[in-house]
């Protein structure tokens, strides 16, 4: 593979190339790196079997562990809670077959590195029932006390079309949308960089709301309000209004909020299957080796301290200490300031500043199990289903409906909220949250007795109050670009002093795309490259990795003045 750094790739390029999460900050083809027959890299045989600590068994940690195992190293995974992290699926008491997705639940096909692993472990997907999506029987948009039923966007009143047109116009005029989307399809790094470097300079200081309010097509407050509620893709983006506009552009350019699918059997299947997966090709280890086989007693317990001693990086748990030549750290970095006592000398001061500044979204969800998907029944009086996927400006915000056929129990995500909406219920037990959501939905669907259909105790989560997470996912505020660049680029360590090398940050909050598992996977892969380089290995000449490409395509550097 060659990394396209100069202009469009004429050879073999198809106009129908899909939009992928290729850039815009670091336009590296992780999918191409992963599928190249030469593999990700080669370790010197003397290094085979070297232990590498992987702190955290979520997607970033398990991808890093899996690939380092394939390179012949010995990943040692530490996990404070359960494998999977924020890919957490749970069931209802007494109903082991019905899944509630407490964390990640919908995945865009543009997340091609994530889909590499989905395909590898043989998981199937189905369209996700997002608002107004083809897989959604009906959507109810409840705004300012008025409900609007729709099957697709065309069924909505004219003002919604006006808002959609305004968004398209703003993206085109202020963010060169179609040129950028086309460049991402063609993996035209020069065009991506030309557009994005300008926008980073112009918009790092701008919030999503500020960007809209300053745009003539959104001069009307009502348009901004409707947009915040319905917006694009999954809707309900008004809780992102304070975030940097760059965060929003990353999502829309790369199709990250589009054509979502869910993982049949639950999102957590992916990390759990990766743990068990036996690779076809693996250096050093005998056939049949998997992460599970390398950890016969399961992952090691929670890490309480990370420090440096002569000979390496020392990891401490309640069970003792062990020294490693390299460590991959994947818990949200907020935990390095709180629950993990991390030696200050391990990172440069400017990286610590970035860790301190990292901003997280909060998120809560409330789930209920019903005897069957009763909402599909058509009300003869209205000709509409009893309930639809619901976007509302009331407390529940987003209601998602899942079914496994007309006779099986139905799973209702009665509420999915972010930030202030999530904080409204923080600290309340699941039963009380259920009461609150049903009371509110009773006003949206008068006369519909949802409670009568519920057959199990509710399930609920608030990620900002989970001690091993302390936030749902990273979301940069205006002015945070420089901090994000420091965290993302930290895997490039050749210029660091010796005592600051060997610890690699990875995960959702290190990536440019917080809230999307693709960023956890790709930063896990950056850490693989970092460990390979640190321990004297190299990538095949025909398949350069993210660190090889970094000097040519590094994220744009803003002046620090
Ligand atoms: C509510 C919610 C909805 C989301 N929706 C989507 C979605 O629809 N689509 C999508 O693509 N992405 C979504 N995401 C984002 C996605 O879940 C994450 O990007 C991804 O799962 C993060 O993986 P990670 O490995 O970076 O971190 P994590 O999954 O957080 O893994 C880190 C692991 O470290 C462990 N840990 C913490 N402290 C320690 C310690 N001291 N010692 C050892 N282990 C420790 C944790 O228990 C955890 O298992 C969502 C996330 C949330 C919270």
User: CB count, 10 Å around CB of 552?
Assistant: 13
Report the pLDDT value the prediction gives residue 235, as an integer from 0 to 100: 78
Report the pLDDT value the prediction gives residue 14, as an integer from 0 to 100: 52
* Closest residue by Cα to residue 235 from 137, 169, 163: 163
Structure tokens at 532: 């390979």
pLDDT at residue 3 above 50?
Answer: no
Choose one of 270, 330, 342 to mutate for the ligand 1 pocket test, by most ligand atoms within 8 angstroms of C-beta: 330
Report the pLDDT value the prediction gives residue 234, as an integer from 0 to 100: 78
CA distances from 123 to 133, 267, 519 (A): 22, 10, 20
What is the residue with the minimal CA distance to atom 15 of ligand 1? 515
The model's confidence at residue 10, banded by pLDDT at 50, 70 and 90, is very low
Choose one of 20, 53, 54, 56 to mutate for the ligand 1 pocket test, by most ligand atoms within 8 angstroms of C-beta: 56
What is the residue with the minimal CA distance to atom 26 of ligand 1? 507
Long-range contacts (CB closer than 8 Å, 24 or more residues apart) made by 44-47: 44/536, 44/537, 45/72, 45/284, 47/72, 47/73, 47/535, 47/536, 47/537
DSSP 161-217: HHHHHHHHHHHHHHH-HHHHHHHHHHT-HHHHHHHHHHHHHHHTT-BHHHHHHTSGG
Report the pLDDT value the prediction gives residue 5, as an integer from 0 to 100: 30
Instruction: Compute the distance between CA of residue 334 and CA of residue 355 in angstroms, rounded to an integer.
Output: 7
CATH topology for 44-85+266-279+293-357+476-550 is FAD/NAD(P)-binding domain (3.50.50)
Residue with tokens 């309010």: 213
The model's confidence at residue 12, banded by pLDDT at 50, 70 and 90, is very low
More confident residue, 108 or 11: 108
More confident residue, 234 or 559: 559
Q: If DSSP codes are grouped into helix, strand and coil, which group holds residue 368?
A: strand
Please identify, by atom number, the ligand 1 atom nearest to the C-alpha of residue 81: 47
* Tens of pLDDT, residues 542-551: 999 999 999 9
Q: Which one is the CATH code of 159-259: 3.40.800.20, 1.10.405.40, 1.10.150.130, 3.40.50.1950?
A: 1.10.405.40
Residues 6 or more apart in contact with residue 467 via CB below 8 angstroms:
339
Instruction: Give the mean model confidence (pLDDT) for residues 90-107.
Output: 97
* Tens of pLDDT, residues 137-168: 999 999 999 999 999 888 999 999 999 999 99
273 CA to middle of ligand 1, Å? Answer: 16
CATH top-level class of 89-110+124-136+361-465: alpha beta
DSSP 427-454: T--HHHHHHHHHHHHHHHSTT--SGGGB
DSSP 209-275: HHHHHTSGGG-SHHHHHHHHHT-STT--GGGGTTSBHHHHHHHHHTTTTSS-EEETT-TTHHHHHHH
pLDDT at residue 350 above 60?
Answer: yes
CB distance 363 to 463 below 8 Å = yes
Report the pLDDT value the prediction gives residue 237, as an integer from 0 to 100: 87
Q: If DSSP codes are grouped into helix, strand and coil, which group holds residue 291?
A: helix
Instruction: Give the mean model confidence (pLDDT) for residues 355-367.
Output: 98
pTM of the model: 0.97
The model's confidence at residue 233, banded by pLDDT at 50, 70 and 90, is confident
pLDDT at residue 520 above 70?
Answer: yes
The model's confidence at residue 9, banded by pLDDT at 50, 70 and 90, is very low
The model's confidence at residue 418, banded by pLDDT at 50, 70 and 90, is very high
User: What percent of the chain has pLDDT above 90?
Assistant: 94
* Tens of pLDDT, residues 110-132: 999 999 999 999 999 999 999 99
467 CA to middle of ligand 1, Å? Answer: 12
Q: What value, to the nearest 5°, has the Cα angle with vertex 499 and ends 493 and 504?
A: 45
Look over the chain and give the mean of its residue pLDDT values, rounded to a whole number.
95
Structure tokens at 492: 């490039």
Residues 6 or more apart in contact with residue 342 via CB below 8 angstroms:
305, 306, 307, 336
Report the pLDDT value the prediction gives residue 4, as an integer from 0 to 100: 30
Report the pLDDT value the prediction gives residue 15, as an integer from 0 to 100: 53
Going from N- to C-terminal start, the domains of the chain cover 44-85+266-279+293-357+476-550, 89-110+124-136+361-465, 159-259
Report the pLDDT value the prediction gives residue 33, as an integer from 0 to 100: 98
């Amino acid at each position: 593979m060659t990394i396209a750094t100069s202009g469009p790739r004429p050879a073999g390029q198809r106009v129908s190339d899909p939009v992928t999460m290729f850039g815009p900050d670091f336009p590296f083809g992780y999918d191409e790196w992963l599928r190249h027959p030469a593999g990700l890299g080669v370790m010197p045989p003397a290094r085979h079997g070297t232990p590498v600590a992987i702190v955290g068994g979520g997607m970033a940690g398990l991808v890093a562990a899996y690939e380092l195992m394939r390179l012949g190293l010995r990943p040692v995974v530490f996990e404070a809670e359960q494998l999977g992290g924020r890919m957490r699926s749970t069931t209802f008491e007494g109903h082991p077959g019905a899944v509630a997705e407490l964390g990640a639940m919908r995945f865009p096909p543009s997340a091609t590195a994530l889909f590499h692993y989905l395909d590898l472990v043989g998981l199937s997907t189905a369209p996700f029932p997002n608002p107004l999506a083809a897989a959604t029987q009906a959507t109810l948009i409840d705004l300012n006390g008025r409900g609007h039923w729709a099957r697709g966007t065309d069924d909505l009143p004219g003002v919604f079309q006006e808002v959609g047109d305004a968004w398209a116009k703003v993206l085109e005029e202020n963010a060169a949308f179609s040129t950028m989307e086309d460049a991402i399809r063609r993996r035209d790094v020069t065009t991506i960089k030309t557009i994005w470097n300008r926008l980073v300079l112009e918009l790092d200081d701008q919030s999503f709301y500020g960007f809209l309010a300053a745009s003539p097509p959104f001069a009307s407050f009502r348009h901004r309000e409707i947009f915040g509620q319905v917006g694009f893709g999954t809707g309900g983006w008004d809780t992102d209004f304070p975030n940097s506009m760059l965060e929003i552009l990353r999502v829309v350019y790369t199709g990250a909020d589009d054509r979502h699918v869910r993982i049949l059997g639950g999102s957590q299947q992916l990390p759990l299957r990766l743990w068990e997966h036996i690779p076809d090709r693996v250096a050093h280890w005998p056939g049949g080796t998997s992460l599970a086989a390398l950890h016969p007693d399961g992952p090691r317990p929670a890490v309480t301290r990370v420090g440096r001693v002569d000979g390496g990086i020392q990891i401490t748990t309640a069970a003792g200490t062990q020294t490693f030549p390299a460590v991959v750290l994947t818990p949200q970095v907020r935990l390095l300031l709180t629950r993990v006592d991390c030696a200050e000398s391990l990172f440069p001061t400017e990286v610590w500043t970035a860790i301190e500044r990292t901003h997280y979204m909060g998120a809560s969800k409330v789930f209920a199990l019903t005897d069957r998907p009763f909402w599909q029944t058509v009300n003869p009086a209205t000709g509409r289903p009893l309930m639809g996927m619901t976007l509302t400006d009331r407390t529940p915000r987003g209601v998602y409906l899942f079914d496994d056929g007309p006779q099986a129990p139905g799973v209702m995500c009665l509420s999915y909220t972010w930030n202030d909406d999530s904080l409204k219920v923080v600290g309340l037990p699941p039963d009380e949250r259920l009461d609150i959501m049903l009371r509110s939905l009773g006003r949206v669907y008068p006369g519909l007795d949802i409670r009568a259909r519920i057959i199990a105790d509710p399930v609920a989560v608030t990620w900002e109050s989970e001690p091993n997470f302390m936030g749902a996912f990273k979301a940069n505020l205006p002015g945070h670009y420089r901090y994000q660049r420091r965290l993302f680029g930290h895997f490039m360590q050749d210029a660091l002093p010796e005592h600051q090398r060997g610890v690699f940050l990875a995960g959702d909050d290190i990536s440019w795309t917080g809230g999307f598992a693709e960023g956890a996977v790709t930063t896990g892969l950056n850490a693989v490259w970092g460990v390979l380089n640190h321990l004297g290995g190299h990538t095949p000449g025909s398949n350069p990795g993210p660190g090889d490409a970094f000097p040519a395509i590094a994220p744009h550097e803003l002046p620090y003045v």
